[in-house]
Amino acid sequence: KTERLLLCSGKVYFELEAERAQRKDTATTIVRVEQFYPFDAATLARLHDQYGEPRKVVWVQDQPRNMGGWSFIAPLIEETLKVRPVYAGRDAGAAGALRPGGQPLGAVRYLLAAGLGRRFRSVAVGVSGACINADPAGAALDRRPAHGL
């Protein structure tokens, strides 16, 4: 059963996936959202149900809070899942995805901020026209049509 559902978009997914592999965490599911509009609420609801309706839903982004997808997608997530998502990312600001020293922010900070556990599972949705599902052990991959999420 999934304890936490991480939602993200773009390249931060790969950083999260790399951290997932290192931690061997199977209690968290990552979903990469590639299409914000029209929002596919039915697919998100189905994935939420499929993973045991985790109570903790986290939106992860490397942009500041006032940039990226958070302000658009947070109300859609809450309306669809009836769960208020947690934000894991930088505070609002004028700069892009870099911290004051000019170094990129890695996913480790987000994982810690979101209070992730030791078990992890991943799902990439809408990547190059296919949905890639990794089993909890990270072994076999199953490619099938994208859900448009």
Q: What is the pLDDT of residue 12?
A: 87
Q: What is the pLDDT of residue 95?
A: 66
Q: What are phi and psi of 51, to 5 degrees?
A: -100, 25
Q: What is the pLDDT of residue 129?
A: 30
Q: What is the pLDDT of residue 21?
A: 79
pLDDT along the chain (149 residues), means of 10: 90 85 85 93 95 92 89 97 91 66 50 49 40 32 36
Q: What is the pLDDT of residue 18?
A: 82
Is the Cβ–Cβ distance between 144 and 54 less than 8 Å?
A: no
Q: What is the pLDDT of residue 97?
A: 52
Q: What is the pLDDT of residue 125?
A: 46
Q: Are strands 130-134 and 141-145 parallel, antiparallel or unpaired?
A: antiparallel
Q: What is the pLDDT of residue 11?
A: 86
DSSP string computed for 100-126: TTSPBPPHHHHHHHTT--S--EEEEEE
